[in-house]
Structure 1
């Protein structure tokens, strides 16, 4: 017997059927998620994260992040890009 799922109505899209991708959570939800993660990691919202904060060696989360990503500059680029993208949207 096949188990039922609350996601059964949207095989290719989001659970609520409003987005094409099941990974597209919408801009408001994405901003809230990024701000929450940013506050947990850096004690600042995404828009307030600066290069100085990311480079602050006294922040244990920064140290753990650098240790985790190692030589993967793409992970750090992602953080910088998200910050830049958010700032561009805020200014327009």
Structure 2
């Protein structure tokens, strides 16, 4: 595994949480870009501001569910996003690995 530590700084640290998330995304064949694309789709959807905010919350919970290997939870949040913004390509991309 790669060394993901910050050296030669005032507060040296290791980016363990980041590496775990990155490794899990790779395990599912996803990237941060897939989630960025979904966020863009949510922001561009012709839905109300409240619905956009709700979908942003679902997106965060979707990421957390995937990170914790909770596929059923992830499917639920992705389904709610899909019901709101439709079958856009970013939804299909993520759904294909769940």
- Category of TM-score, reference length = shorter chain: under 0.3
**TM score, norm. by length of structure 1:** 0.28
Would you tell me which structure has more strand in proportion to its own residues? 2
Instruction: Tell me the TM-score normalized by structure 2.
Output: 0.27
Q: Which structure has the greater CA radius of gyration? A: 1
